Structure 1
Amino acid sequence: MSGHVLILGGTGEGRALAFALVESGQPPEVTSSLAGRVADPALPPGRVRVGGFGGVGGLARWLTEHAVDAVVDATHPFAATMSQHAAQACSRVGTPLLRLQRPGWSQAAGDVWHRLPTLAAAAGKLDALGRRAFLTIGRQEVAAFADVDAWCLVRAIEPPEPPLPRRCELLLARGPFDLPSERETLRQWQVDVLVSKDSGGEATAAKLTAARELHLPVVLVDRPPIPEGVPVVDTVEAALAWVAATLPAI
């Protein structure tokens, strides 16, 4: 096959897809786009661009100017704005688009989960469930918890921007996190409620197991919907098959 594939990345799935495409030698051009919100990100092989496109119009122009034949949206499951922009831009210029999104987490016996549709709803529920919360939602949306009464341990790769919870401690760390370390974190900080987005994947799943073992409630925020009409796969192998079927043959 020939052509140019744009991977909207920043996730492990996006990097794995870039590796697979580059190692196969087909297509001849692979570009991964990273949002640039994290310093020193893990870079995939092939061409890499960092930063936004300037909205739907900017992305549509980029696709045309760089002769992109297919786009794989492998952004984070909660990168709703980028996914919407990709759907609109690809529709505007007629570029095929695939969503590569890892499965969400499944509740197991012993889990005490409270699923909520938004971070605002999660913040509203928090004080009824505990007094010492472990926020594992990344740094960009911590402000949703600024008015909670609970003390919060906020874990993120980089410091979040204010406003922050009135009583909080920052824990700067990058995953993956194993089960022993997650058990120790919950015990050391006397956490009695865990807050997470339903990001899925193995890199941060150990916190849910640790919470289950300690009989702690978990506030789990549901994923935003995928743009209507966009096909979805949940494995790199399926994404590779879609690319092979979508791009023109040599």
Structure 2
Amino acid sequence: MNRLRSLTRGLTVGLLTALFLAPFYLVLRGALMDSRSLTSPHWAWWPSTTHWENFTALFTDPALHFGQALANSLLIAGITAPVSTLLASAAGYAFARIPVPGRGVLLTLVVATLMIPGSVTFVPTFVVVGSLGGVNTLWGIIAPGLFNPFAVLLFRNFYLRLPAELEEAGRLDGLGRLGLYRRIALPSSGSMLASLGALAFIDSWNAFLWPLVIGQDPSAWTAQIALSTFLTAQTINLPGLFAGAVVTIAPLVAMFLIAQRYIVEGITGSGLKG
């Protein structure tokens, strides 16, 4: 009976793993094929001739600007993730620990912003950023993504669960609010910082519509915008699209493999587990 359970469990895990890895296999397979093989009605598990030049073409095509777009995405996500996470941490600590008049009302307003569809605020945000000269600039892409009300709520729940005795010991040492946050609360929230920082990086890396509207010049393109140029009304470059997808997926896979444990710990520690 135990052997049957182990066999069933192993088969289930293997099937789920295969289903999870299937999209990655299909993308890599398409990246190593040419256009004729990709559109052929005859299925091939692996290309008979691997076309590694699809990857080099990404960085040698002068009209694509893929290298610049990839660097822009790394810069944007590399700034957005830590800054937005630290801002959310500070705000969450203030809501959890600093007793000020109207704190509940302010928290309600922050939570209410989660119920507003992004399509409602898209045009006003564009008008504000555009009036400040943010079109075709990286800071115009970065600025709206620095404020995450959901992360504020998660940090607030985390700091509410933080033992008050830790802060009382800090007060005896003469620490003020800023010192308590910087020396006690912030170091204690390492798992939350890592998990929400990773999620913010992934969200910023995958953003498409806002960078598309703001970054109209090729110098401000992100990797996702560069990928969209493979599918136009005039041409469809499937091998290039698959190759670009492999390159852009790689940083996210690395990020997930590094931060997967912290993501689970952070969500559990936030107090929002089911």
Q: TM-score, normalised by structure 1?
A: 0.23
Considering fraction of residues, name the structure with more helix.
2
Looking at secondary structure, tell me which structure has more strand per residue: 1
Which structure would you say has the larger Rg? 2
Higher relative contact order (CA 8 A, sep 6+): 2
